[in-house]
């Protein structure tokens, strides 16, 4: 079995940027014991916050979160500015054989990238491809980024090698869903189990299906949205995750967690 989680952590701040809660996010992530975690809006460096916030970690946010459970990690910068940078990260219990950050920015004011890693898992002889994404806010921007994503996969990932794409797609209209499933024969993990896309934004009253976990070459056995009352959204109550964390207070997005078997 392979367990993965995707989460937009809002740079470690609570909704509305009222409190810095990266330590609580770390505890919540550790409670899931996921094998691979896809993170968006993760701060690689911020010199001003490091001075102003007492419990700002000494290392990068992805290194801080990965500590103790995920010895292997990859990070790709999305946005670079005078105080530092933020982007996407993948935390893994298994080593990467390689990874690459692919720039898919359409506008300088909204930098975006795809973080593509290759992991060797004992459950399969084929390499496992993992891609962390955070697509743009505008439809025309996402269309071009999706084309680049499809081209990347078609060129570098053989169809027989298992693939997981996860992240914040900003796709509340479902257009990316139709395009990716048609072009790449992907399936959405949550939709495969629950029959519809997961509503993950805003976290305190989720109405928009922004976050996704897509797969090809793996069998989805379970998928759910983590929430303070997430038992309401899981048909398989025997496999619910710990309810001790109020996920709705940790970020403006809710995380998704999925379990897979290798075919």
Cα separation of the two ends of the chain: 11
Q: Say how far apart CA 89 and CA 62 lie, in whole Å.
A: 7
Q: What is the pLDDT of residues 2-11, one digit of tens each?
A: 999 999 999 9
CB 30, CB 68: distance < 8 Å? yes
Phi–psi pair at 223, nearest 5 degrees:
-160, 135
pLDDT band at 235 (very low <50, low <70, confident <90, very high): very low
Q: What percent of the chain has pLDDT over 90?
A: 76
Q: Residue 137 has which token pair?
A: 């806010």
Q: Say how far apart CA 124 and CA 212 lie, in whole Å.
A: 23
Residue 245: what pLDDT?
80
Helix (H, G, I), strand (E, B) or coil at 30: helix
Q: Say how far apart CA 74 and CA 99 lie, in whole Å.
A: 7
Residue 251: what pLDDT?
95
126 vs 231: which has the higher pLDDT: 126
DSSP letter at 55 equals: T
The partner residues of 73 in beta bridges, in order of sequence, read 91
Residue 41: what pLDDT?
95
User: Buried b vs exposed e over 83-99: b needs ≥16 C-beta within 10 Å?
Assistant: ebbbbbbbbbbbeeeeb
CB atoms inside a 10 Å sphere around CB 42: 28
Q: Give me the mean pLDDT over the 77-83 stretch.
A: 88
Q: What is the pLDDT of residues 150-186, one digit of tens each?
A: 999 999 999 999 999 999 999 998 889 999 999 999 9
Domains of the chain (ranges; CATH) run: 2-262 (3.60.10.10)
Q: What is the pLDDT of residues 243-258, one digit of tens each?
A: 568 899 999 999 999 9
DSSP letter at 263 equals: -
pTM for the predicted model, two decimal places: 0.93
Residue 111: what pLDDT?
76
Residue 112: what pLDDT?
85
Q: Say how far apart CA 126 and CA 159 lie, in whole Å.
A: 11
80 pLDDT exceeds 90? no
Residue 55: what pLDDT?
94
> Which residue is associated with the tokens 């303070």?
228
Q: Say how far apart CA 31 and CA 18 lie, in whole Å.
A: 24
Question: Could you tell me how far CA 98 lies from the centroid of its own chain?
Answer: 18
14 pLDDT exceeds 70? yes
Q: Residue 221 has which token pair?
A: 């056995």
Q: What is the pLDDT of residues 97-153, one digit of tens each?
A: 999 999 988 766 557 889 999 998 887 789 999 999 999 998 889 999 999 999 999
Q: Indicate left, alpha or beta for 174 from its phi (over 0: left) and psi (-120 to 50: alpha).
A: left
Residue 234: what pLDDT?
43
Residue 228: what pLDDT?
60
CB 116, CB 142: distance < 8 Å? no
16 pLDDT exceeds 90? no
């Amino acid at each position: 079995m392979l367990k993965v989680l995707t989460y937009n952590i809002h740079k470690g701040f609570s909704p509305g940027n009222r409190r810095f809660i990266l330590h609580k996010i770390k505890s919540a992530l550790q409670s899931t014991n996921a094998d691979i975690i896809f993170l968006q809006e993760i701060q690689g460096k911020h010199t001003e916050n490091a001075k102003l916030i007492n419990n700002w970690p000494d290392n990068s946010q992805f290194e801080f979160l990965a500590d103790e459970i995920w010895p292997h990690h990859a990070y790709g910068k999305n946005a670079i500015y005078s105080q530092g940078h933020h982007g996407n990260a993948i935390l893994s219990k298994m080593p990467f054989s390689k990874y690459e950050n692919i720039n898919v920015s359409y506008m300088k004011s909204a930098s975006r990238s795809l973080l593509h890693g290759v992991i060797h898992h004992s459950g399969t002889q084929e390499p496992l491809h993992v891609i962390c994404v955070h697509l743009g806010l505008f439809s025309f921007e996402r269309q071009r980024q999706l084309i680049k994503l499809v081209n990347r996969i078609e060129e570098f990932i053989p169809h027989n090698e298992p693939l997981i794409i996860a992240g914040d797609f900003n796709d509340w209209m479902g257009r990316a869903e139709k395009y990716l499933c048609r072009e790449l024969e992907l399936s959405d993990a949550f939709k495969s189990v629950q029959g519809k896309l997961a509503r993950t934004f805003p976290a305190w009253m989720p109405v928009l299906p922004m976050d996704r976990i897509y797969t090809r070459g793996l069998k989805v056995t379970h998928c759910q949205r983590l929430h303070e009352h997430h038992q309401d959204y899981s048909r398989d109550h025997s496999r619910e995750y710990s309810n001790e964390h109020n996920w709705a207070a940790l970020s403006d997005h809710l995380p998704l967690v999925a379990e897979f078997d290798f075919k």
